[in-house]
Copies of this chain bind each other. A is one copy, B any other.
Amino acid sequence: MTAYSDLMAFQRETEALSQIAGRLGWDQETMMPEGATPQRAEEHGAMANILHARRIDPRIGEWLETAEAVDDVAAANLRHIKRDYERTAKVPARLAAELAKTTSLAHRVWARARAEEDVASFLPMLQKVVDLRREEASAVAGDTDPYDALLDDYEPGATGESLSAMFSALRPRLVNLRAAILEQPAPTALSGVFDEAAQLALSQKLALGFGYGLENGRIDKAVHPFSSGSGLDVRITTRTNPVDPFNCFYSTVHEVGHAAYEQGIDHAHLLTPLGRGVSMGVHESQSRIYENQLGRSRAFTGWLYGQMCDAFGDFGIADEEAFFATVNRVSDGFIRTEADEVQYNLHVLLRFDLERALIAGDLAVNDLEAAWNDRFAADFGYAVDKPSNGVLQDVHWSEGLFGYFPTYTLGNVYAGCLHVALRAAVPTLDDDLARGDTSKATGWLRENVQQFGGLRTPVDTITHATGRAPHEGPLLDYLEQKFSAIYRL
């Protein structure tokens, strides 16, 4: 055996264990009996210890010293392994343990604070989390910007500065677009009650239509929709709300985008570092292009309107055109996860600027709520009414996830770029979508993005697929064109 094959055999076993750990999380959200919670916490802890010990195993360092890359695939594998190993090695065991303990505690404190609308009770814990993550970031970053070290966990290669430049170009045009839209009369909102079994049946039809394969996956109900697993076992969840079938349909299509990426990676990369989606941003580009550029397009919603008429009878929307406007209705709201395409990125940009300032030390934890509320009022034009609609709404910071939020908008930017390339490559796209046929679109994405997994860097993945470096222009153009048409701006 060579050092490379020894290393890869070790990594393959680690990845298999990591898949098991992920499925344990899936089980917890879908199948686990409630009384099992304390035992499950110990099981998760045992698995985390095993995985951590393998990630810092000094044999990895030894193998890396002599392993040779005979081809592009081997080079990419070594790049991933080296990056993870060096990063993990820079974080002292004491700090890693303290972070795990503190974020677990902070999560509970956050949940109570949110329920009680009590920001002050959360701030001491948030301070600890910020301090620990800053310490970790400094240990990893060396002389570079600590925020970049955190960002790198979710979007390898991205920097706060480059994202800031991109997001600064997004913000004014999105603020203007939003304001212009909200001056217009609103389209009809969906009303009525929609049979839950019929919602699930149509959401499964959508999942299969968008290329999700049940021979390597399954769909279950969960409180929050998610996609879980890589390779040959990629599971998604969905949920129903009797008065909001769009929630069921579009969260399903969103998770199918994530799952199709994992299912679509070349099986040659199974259980290797290349066998997973390459970054959160590229992952989100897949879920978002499935959900928005395809799923919320005029052509596809035309088909969906017919499906919903078949499933639910007359539900008060007159025709395809009105239905398209209803699906894409823009309205005021505090909550990021409920936001439409136009406003979603404004929610993210707010969080990005605040968390970057927190990590840089330019914003004190005690001033966070005021900063949030000021920024929200500036971009959205009205005041946050309570912390659960403002600074306490998201779980991320309590779990120490700084650097995660911007990948949502980066995904939208990538989706915008891919959408242009896709339309150029598939000129019949709207005709296909109008028949509910997404196969050419998803086939193009599989062929040009998904199959490669972690072979290229995130930016190179998008560049390879689109022929140019990712930029925010296409997303802005798409949003302005689409919503100008709907709202007659």
Contacts and interface: CB of A to CB of B under 8 A. Distances in A.
A36 interface: yes
Among A14, A27, A214, A215, residue most surrounded by chain B Cβ atoms (within 10 Å): A27
Nearest to A37: B232
B17 A215 contact: no
Contacts of A31: 31, 218
A23 B26 CA distance: 12
B12 A42 contact: yes
Contacts of A141: none
A232 B28 CA distance: 13
The A contact surface, by secondary structure, is helix
Interface string A27-38: 100011111111
Q: Which of A17, A23, A37, A39 is packed against the most chain B CB atoms within 10 Å?
A: A39
A65 B47 CA distance: 28
A474 interface: no
Copies in the complex: 2
B16 A232 contact: no
A154 to B, nearest CB: 25
Contacts of A214: 33
A273 interface: no
Contacts of A17: 43, 46-47, 50
Contacts of A45: 13, 16
A441 to B, nearest CB: 23
Contacts of A216: 33, 35-36
Interface string A193-231: 000000000000000000001111110000000000001
Contacts of A213: 35
A38 B271 CA distance: 11
Interface in A31-87: 31-40, 42-43, 45-47, 49-50
Nearest to A50: B50
Contact of A35 (B40, B232, B235): B232
B215 A35 contact: yes
A292 B318 CA distance: 64
A43 B16 contact: yes
A484 B36 CA distance: 46
A33 B271 contact: no
Contact of A13 (B12, B27, B46, B235): B46
A83 to B, nearest CB: 22
B36 A232 contact: yes
A313 B216 CA distance: 42
A363 interface: no
Contacts of A13: 42, 45-46, 49
7 contacts: A17-B43, A20-B43, A23-B24, A33-B216, A33-B235, A35-B216, A35-B233
Given A16-B45, A19-B43, 15 more contacts: A14-B46, A16-B43, A19-B39, A23-B24, A27-B27, A31-B218, A32-B233, A33-B217, A33-B232, A33-B233, A35-B232, A36-B232, A39-B231, A40-B232, A40-B233
Interface of A: 12-14, 16-17, 19-20, 23-24, 27, 31-40, 42-43, 45-47, 49-50, 213-218, 231-233, 235, 270-271
In the A-B complex, list the 9 residue pairs whose CB atoms are closest, starting with the nearest: A36-B233, A16-B46, A35-B215, A39-B232, A35-B216, A13-B46, A36-B232, A16-B43, A16-B42
